[in-house]
């Protein structure tokens, strides 16, 4: 492998730069800042995400559905195995089956990262939340969440959502047990 090449500019002292460092910097640039043109739209999407999350955790599916503005055909894979519904669709019948499982939710949205362009927006968030889920007593149900939206005319549609409960640190042994499907200590 050859030694790093020196890159210089008239106003900066010379410093070695590797191709790997230059590539990493170039790839990180789109995530480093949001284009000014998208800031209002991104703020509106964040507010909508907070509203729909709060409605979901309260079991208020009548408010959750409109706030979601999901694209046609989107299924939200959810950890709702106890309902017999492996996927949640934005439909009144599905909402009616899911609604009784969520009660007394309290939520706060923490935005970790955003990216937006004229046609695409990505929100990386932590949904800090507690509530009664599936008949269990109130507990922490915080999630790490990534949502991807695309512009459809003058509106933004949710086209992808991923959430996991990996908010709290766990040991390698705990992760190994989860990977093996062990559910009881």
- The 10s digit of each residue's pLDDT in 47-56 is 999 998 998 8
- Listed as ranges, residues in the chain with pLDDT below 50 are 1-15, 22-23, 25-38, 81-86
What was the pLDDT predicted at 11? 44
CATH for 34-180 (3.40.50.300, 3.90.800.10, 3.10.450.50, 3.40.1110.10): 3.10.450.50
Q: How do residues 153-184 score in pLDDT, each as one tens digit? A: 888 888 888 888 889 999 999 889 988 988 77
What was the pLDDT predicted at 13? 43
What was the pLDDT predicted at 18? 58
The token duo for 175 is 């992760």
**Mean pLDDT taken over the chain:** 74
Separation CA 104–CA 99 (nearest Å): 12
What was the pLDDT predicted at 56? 87
Separation CA 97–CA 107 (nearest Å): 22
**Nearest one of 134, 36, 35 to 82, comparing CA atoms:** 134
76-77 vs 102-116, strand pairing mode: unpaired
What was the pLDDT predicted at 5? 39
What was the pLDDT predicted at 112? 95
In angstroms, the Cα distances linking 70 to 31, 73, 147 are: 24, 8, 11
What was the pLDDT predicted at 134? 86
First-to-last alpha carbon distance for the chain, in angstroms, is 49
Separation CA 131–CA 136 (nearest Å): 9
Which residues are within 8 A (CB) of 123 and not within 5 positions of it... i.e. 6 or more apart? 42, 45, 46, 49, 111, 113, 114, 145, 146, 147, 149
Helix (H, G, I), strand (E, B) or coil at 4: coil
**Cβ atoms < 10 Å from Cβ of 90:** 19
What was the pLDDT predicted at 78? 52
Separation CA 102–CA 105 (nearest Å): 7
The domains of the chain are located at 34-180
Which residues are within 8 A (CB) of 74 and not within 5 positions of it... i.e. 6 or more apart? 89, 90, 158, 159, 160
What was the pLDDT predicted at 144? 94
What was the pLDDT predicted at 68? 62
């Amino acid at each position: 492998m050859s030694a790093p090449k020196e890159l210089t500019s008239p106003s900066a002292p010379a410093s070695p730069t590797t191709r790997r460092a230059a590539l990493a910097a170039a790839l990180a640039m789109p995530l480093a800042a949001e284009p000014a043109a998208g800031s209002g739209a991104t703020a509106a999407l964040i507010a909508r995400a907070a509203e729909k999350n709060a409605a979901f955790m309260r079991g208020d599916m009548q408010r959750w559905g409109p706030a979601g503005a999901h694209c046609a055909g989107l299924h939200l894979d959810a950890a709702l195995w106890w309902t017999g519904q492996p996927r949640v669709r934005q439909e009144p019948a599905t909402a009616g089956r899911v609604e009784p499982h969520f009660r007394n939710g309290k939520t706060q949205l923490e935005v970790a990262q955003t990216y937006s362009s004229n046609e695409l927006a990505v929100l990386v968030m932590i949904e800090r939340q507690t509530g009664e889920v599936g008949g269990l007593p109130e507990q922490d149900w915080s999630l790490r969440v990534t949502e991807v939206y695309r512009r459809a005319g003058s509106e933004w549609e949710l086209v992808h959502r991923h959430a996991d409960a990996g908010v709290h640190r766990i040991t390698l042994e705990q992760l190994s047990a989860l990977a093996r499907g062990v559910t009881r200590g």
